[in-house]
Amino acid sequence: MVAPALAVLLSLSIYPLIYSVQISLQTDSPAGPVWGLANFKRLSMDSFFWSAMAHTLIYAVAALLVEFFLGLGLALLLNSNIRGRRFFRATLLIPMMLPTVVVGVVWRLMFNPNFGTINGVLRQLGVITEQLTWTASPRLALAAVIAVDVWQWTPFVFLVLLAGLQAIPQEPYEAARVDGSSSWQTFRHVTLPLLKPAILIVLLLRTMDLLRVFDQIFILTEGGPGFATETVSLYIYRAAFRFTDFGYAAAMSFVLLIITNLISTIYIRLLQSRESVA
Amino acid sequence: MLVIAMITAIAPVYWMLTISLKREVDQFANPPRWLFFPPTLEHYYDAFVARSFVQYLLTSALVAIASTGCALIIGTLAAYSLARFELPWRLDRKLSLWILSTRMFPAIVTAVPLFLMMRDLGLLDTRLSLIVVYTGFNLPFVIWMMRGFFAEVPRDLEEAAMVDGDSRLGALWRVVLPLVAPGLAATAVFCLIVSWNEFLFALVLTQTDEAMTLPVGIAGRVTQYEIKWGVMSAAGVVAIIPILAFAIAVQRHLVRGLSLGAVKG
């Protein structure tokens, strides 16, 4: 009964990968396709690719750090029975359920220099006097798209960590109280180790999503202004579907895949080592 | 604290809702008007009667439902086998991990070869291509989630049914499936959401109004030179409505679903 599923997965994920390897090793010439590593050689010297890689890493690390600490802080604060908790949870779910395209539209409205709320509020608070252009400014654009990701995904980090916190039994806390440990010590030696699996899972899932980010940036800035917010996924998209340079796009996507895999392997190792100890 | 977090989560979406209901003169009001403005439905009329958004909407619904159905049928069968039968060399465990990792691929990595494959098959710019791709997209998730739900059902139940003369498939259908029905429903809703929201593959695989989904239709308008903000917002609001309904339906399972079953929330 596994056979149909295997057939679908083989034809829609394994075969495309093999196909992709094949085209990444070919370059066009008047005499037909030539085999070789030309695409990878070109990639290693392509400054656009490496700056897209830098943007992707900055984006991923910055968004991950902010989302994690914000989410953890909120989860610790709200790990108690509060009134209206259901309603609160339902509200927080909204951003992450939205189609990324709609998130892009929403934030284009918010960032709009003329009628966007961000400028409106900042002006009323007296923080700014001129109209900031946000997504059209080379200095602010990357920060702006990172902020959108933080808005959309901090609730997810929060909810997973909260679920993790609530799965921790009461006994270790009571033992810590009997031993007279400070609240920081309790957090450091009781909460953190017990929360580690949830932390690793949420970091793993967020990292994978952040490294392949495409939709929101495509809608918000299309990688611009200039190339200030161009991530690897956007560059690959441009290479393949604007310049029909499929071989080069395939080569770049392999580098992205390898990096993503390396990072996820590290996380999974950490998770498994933790499980074998426990 | 709570209130600030809630307002931050909601305000941008509310802002889009107001823009979709404002006349163009009011959209540019300074300071921005959050509450009192003369409402109008002209943008909704513009989007769904005068333009092709209805068609995008239908395509989105068709593609989401068809791909979810296919993924559920194929995936549930596979998940049941993985939960019940020992494969040699701990293959079942490896298989599950592999299935999960196919979901972690950066989408763009498979988008390029899938585009070329669909082109060779003559399926570019069809709804069928999206249904096929989304089925593949949702399948690992269905297998992973359903395997967890099946593992929670005691084996004795279906063994008793089989002793009573049911075939294994009969026992699965009559005894096990009703028990995992809530999990199955939650999984289905997740697949619907993923397919409904998906953007990159739809962008790559479709070009004309006939096969475009709602996100691609919206995106096509956003990146134009002159943006009709009211129309965009109206389309955005309509794209959100089914998602909100779904999200409320699966609220209880949401954390588990989004963390691929790793956290039982």
Residue B263's pLDDT is 54
B189 touches chain A (CB under 8 A): no
Q: How far is A108 from chain B (nearest CA, A)?
A: 9
The pLDDT tens digits of the residues spanning A169-190 come to: 888 888 888 888 888 888 888 8
Asked whether A267 and A203 are in contact (CB, 8 A), the reply is: yes
**Could you tell me the domains of chain A?**
37-277 (1.10.3720.10)
Give the CATH number of domain B41-258; options: 1.10.540.10, 2.60.40.420, 1.10.3720.10, 3.30.460.80: 1.10.3720.10
Q: Which amino acid is at A31?
A: A
In Å, how far is B170's CA from the nearest CA of chain A? 14
Averaged over B125-138, what is the pLDDT?
A: 92
Distance CA B78, CA A3 (A): 8
Which residue would you say has higher pLDDT here, B216 or A3? B216
**3-state SS class at B39:** strand
**Better-predicted residue by pLDDT, B101 or A186:** A186
Q: Residue B158 contacts by C-beta under 8 Å, 6 or more apart in sequence?
A: B166, B168, B171, B172, B175, B176
Domain boundaries, chain B: 41-258
- Interface contact B82-A2, CB threshold 8 A: yes
B253 or A5: which leads in pLDDT:
A5
What pLDDT sits at residue B117? Answer: 92
Q: Which residues pair with B22 in a beta bridge?
A: B39
Residue B226's pLDDT band (cuts 50, 70, 90): low
* Pick from B1, B200, B204: CB nearest A77: B1
Q: What is the pLDDT of residue B70?
A: 96
Q: CB-CB: which of A120, A208, A233 is closest to B31?
A: A120
Categorize the per-residue pLDDT at B265 as very low, low, confident or very high, splitting at 50, 70 and 90.
very low
Please tell me which of the candidates B6, B16, B116 has its beta carbon nearest to residue A109: B16
> What does DSSP assign to residue B22?
B
Task: Say which residue the tokens 């991990």 belong to.
Answer: B97
CA–CA dist A227, B110 (Å, integer): 24
Task: Answer yes or no: is pLDDT of B247 > 80.
Answer: no
- pLDDT score recorded for residue B255: 65
- The answer on pLDDT for A9 being more than 70 is yes
What pLDDT shows up at residue B224?
Answer: 63
pLDDT of residue B28 exceeding 80, the answer is no
Quick one: pLDDT at residue A277? 46
